[in-house]
Structure 1
Amino acid sequence: MSKNLYLDINVLQTVPSSNINRDDTGAPKTAFYGGVMRARVSSQSWKRATRKAFAEDGAEIGTRTLKVPQLLAEKLMELDSSLSQEEADKMAAAALGAAGIKVKKDNVTGALLMVSKGQIEGLAKYVLAGEELDKKEAKKNLLQGNSLDLALFGRMVADNPELNVDASAQVAHAISTHEIIPEYDYFTALDDLQGKEQSGAALIQTTQYDSATLYRYANVNMGELAHNLDGKDAVEGAVTFVKDFALSMPTGKQNSFANKTVPSYLMVTVRDDTPVNLVSAFEQPATARDGKGYLENSVNKLEAEFVDTQAFVDAPLATLVAGKFDTKIGEKEDNLNDLLDKLRDVLKKAVEDEDLNN
């Protein structure tokens, strides 16, 4: 068997009037694909939503911040109560400097840096061991003990590429399966304390929105995930990602539109050759037929594209489907939990065969 093992996640989800991911003008993000305008939600936006869902699920997540020196100083004082703030700050700056991270005069880094709790604790313990700071050892402590989000989404340190963590997951920008036309909401607000002699609105504004059936896609390189998690359970990490990617949603304008929905269709495949994004199913936009909307047609197009790809790639080791539509391509599970349980079993067997942790 090949030493590759990939997990594909395909989601179809309808979103009503909403503006969950805005551009610099405040309008919903869009993309042209197949010659027409599509609704779009950036991968960064959905990754952040997924990270927040990890935390709500009890998974350890990292911290992206300029204040890494302060986090390290706090951990040093927690482990050694005799340290003063000034001493801890100096030790933190020295340790980070040894690792190749510059600390500015205001005790922050020059750029945002993602770190896990384990990395902060490991570096603090290394500093307190009293040994002379070694560049290699300092960096080592920032390259192990990755949190789940760091293991999945990676880390780029422009000034010090040796501290980069290669992402084990790829997340596509979500796009609508069909053409959309942006719409505008005109609204006003009255001053509750204005007198009877006053008339007119105290505020007049417009906001843009759209509605769409979105195609969402992500994949996981299971070998890279196992490497990034330092021998921790990559299977459970992948299962958690599938669940929280499927159920999370960016929160832009959510109070204004109450647009939180759940997927109508979820397809997960386990492959041993290459990940496959099935967005080409919608290069020719889906259409709303017979009053059925876009969703059913989108499901049919997606499954047809899945079949067509078999002319170019190997058949998946497993294809699992959950949702309200019957499937012609895989095993239909009654609900998300059943799909996750089956996926866990499939991945455990595949990982044992691949011996990914070695």
Structure 2
Amino acid sequence: MPAPRTYVDVHILHTVPPANLNRDDQGNPKEAYFGGVRRSRVSSQAWKRATRRHFTERLPEQDLATRTRRVAGALAERLRAGTALDADQSARLAGALLAPLKIRAGKKAGDTAYLLFSGRRQLETGAALVRDRAAELVALDDKALAAAMESLPIQEAFTSGHPLDVALFGRMVADLPALRVDAAVQVAHALSTHAVELEFDYFTAVDDEASKGQETGAGMIGTIGFNSATLYRYASVGLHQLRHNLDTDEDAVRGVQAFVSSFARSVPSGYGNSFAHRTLPSLVAVAVRSDQPVNLVSAFEDPVAPSAGIAAESARRLAREHSTAVRLWGDAPDHAAVCHAFDDDSPASGPLAGAFGAPVAFPQLLAGLGEHLGAVIARSAAPAAPDAR
């Protein structure tokens, strides 16, 4: 019986000072029209990468994945590390080992036609299939080597034991459905809750050596586009899909907690040295649902006015939108919690408590979420009650 559907919705309000988090094709911050006005936008891809980089810095390297066209080279490196093969021999053996997967070759020798997202342990498992026979295998001609590779479970090495980042964000290989991993996470484009205007920083750089003599003027002149915004950020994690992608239910619960923590704490690094824009959110709310993910961006279709106290008014509207959706549709979340930085006398505090409960510190939010998801899994594993008829 498949695991019951369980979605963990994450709602974040994040105020960012002047910054250029995510550039468009002209080097300016990405934007979008929403509610008839121009908004600041950060693409889902940019924040997913920032999230992945955040938790990869906190997990052992061998428990993570690598995204590369050079998967054959990565496999060859592992073969060389555990055998007496030279570079050419290890490259030939790695290519033969990957051949049964039928991954299309790229334009450069040794490259694949697309980026392949694979776990480092999966690469090591693949290398281990031939390491003990490496010298014997490289002595074979191409035809005999290909025949020997066909009998090895290389596909199983890449379709099991997924690391957390592959399990969360998925792997798409259009022409090889067997290698596809359905993502457990959906991430929306972050949008400002209010209208924004694109601004430009005009800068000059002084040539230190030229300035010692008679030469005057700047050594470099340029501009950087920027804006500042209170962003509404949303993501949803399908616990049922994550349980399917990972080895154990405990890994799935820890995976949800790791994602929520890193999604909340991460910030895209674009022009980070120029703007030092890293801040923490003013609000993080989670809602566990068994019906469907619910994005609350409609709270901000009417843009927040600059005079309203943008973060607090955005939080009040978010709480009102959540409560309205629950009242109209009758789909109350199974669990909700909120961590926020607003004072008790803020106009946002009462609505937030009514929508998500009393505020808690972020570590308590994560702990409570983990306990609830553990209980959900335990209930799904319990045997059904006998029919009383």
Query: Shorter-chain TM-score: what band?
Result: over 0.9
Q: Aligned match of 2:294 in 266, 276, 296?
A: 276
Aligned counterpart for 2:64 among listed residues 61, 65, 69: 61
User: C-alpha displacement at 1:136, in angstroms?
Assistant: 8.6
Does the CA contact (< 8 Å) of 1:96 and 1:103 recur in 2?
Answer: no
Match of 1:201 among 195, 214, 218: 218
Q: Distance in 2 between matches of 1:253 and 1:306?
A: 34
Q: Which amino acid aligns with 2:368?
A: K
Distance 1:340 1:154 in 2: 23
The one of 186, 197, 209 equivalent to 1:170 is 186
Following superposition, the deviation at residue 355 of structure 1 comes to: 3.4
Q: Contact (CA 8 Å) 1:97, 1:103: kept in 2 or not?
A: no
Cα RMSD after superposing both structures:
2.1
Matched residue type, 2:282: S
Residue of structure 1 in register with 2:338 after alignment: 321
Cα displacement (A) at 1:135: 7.7
Q: After the TM superposition, which residues 137-152 of structure 1 pair with which residues of structure 2 at under 5 Å, given as runs?
A: 137-152=153-168
**Secondary structure of residue in 1 paired with 2:329:** coil
2:198 partner letter:
P
Question: What corresponds to 1:338 in structure 2?
Answer: 364
The question of 1:249 aligning with 2:267 is answered yes
Task: Output one character per residue of 1:277-313: Cα deviation in whole Å (capped at 9) or x when no partner.
Answer: 1111111111233xx5210110011011101111225
C-alpha separation between the residues in 1 aligned to 2:151 and 2:48? 32
Amino acid paired to 2:273: N
Return the alpha-carbon distance in structure 1 between the equivalents of residues 243 and 373 of structure 2: 12
- Mapped pair 1:112 → 2:115: yes
Shift of 1:96: 1.0
Q: CA deviation at 1:58?
A: 1.6
Cα distance in 2 between the residues matched to 1:167 and 1:155: 7
1:6 matched residue in structure 2:
7
Separation (CA, whole Å) in 1 of partners of 2:215 and 2:24: 37
* Residue 307 (str. 1) matches residue 320 (str. 2): no
1:99 to partner: Cα distance: 1.0
In structure 2, the residue matched to 1:29 is 30
Q: Give the aligned length.
A: 353
Question: In the TM superposition, what is the alpha-carbon distance from 1:128 to its structure 2 partner?
Answer: 4.1
Which amino acid in the other structure matches residue 87 of structure 1? Answer: Q
Query: Would you say 1:353 and 2:356 are equivalent positions?
Result: no
Q: Counterpart in 2 of 1:75?
A: 78
- Which TM-score applies when normalising by structure 1? 0.93
Q: What letter corresponds to residue 272 of structure 1 in structure 2? A: S
2 CA distance for matches of 1:61 and 1:24?
A: 31
> TM-score, normalised on structure 2?
0.86
Point out the more displaced range, 83-92 or 145-154. Answer: 83-92
Contact kept, 8 Å, 2:168 with 2:184, in 1: the verdict is: yes
Q: Sequence identity of aligned pairs in percent?
A: 42
Structure 1 unmatched ranges of 5 or more = none
- Structure 2 match to 1:192: 208
Contact 2:12/2:285 (CA < 8 Å) preserved in 1?
yes
Secondary structure, aligned partner of 2:79: helix
* Candidates 140, 162, 177, aligned match of 1:161: 177
Of the two, which has the highest radius of gyration? 2
How far 1:126 sits from its partner (Å)? 2.6
Q: Does 1:267 align with 2:258?
A: no
Tell me the residue number matched to 2:128: 125
Distance 1:2 1:107 in 2: 40
Contact 2:3/2:240, CA 8 A, preserved across alignment:
no
Q: Is the 8 A contact 1:2 1:273 kept in 2?
A: no
Counterpart of 2:235, as a letter, is A
CA distance in 1 between counterparts of 2:271 and 2:330 reads: 40
- Aligned counterparts of 1:24 and 1:48: Cα–Cα separation in 2: 19
Q: Partner amino acid for 1:113?
A: L
Runs (4+) of structure 1 exceeding 6 A deviation are: none
CA distance in 1, matches of 2:380, 2:45: 31
Give 1:122 shift. 1.8
Deviations 1:31-89 (A, max 9, x none): 1111110000111111111111112222532101111101111222334x233332221
Unpaired runs of 5+ in structure 2? 134-146, 343-348, 383-389
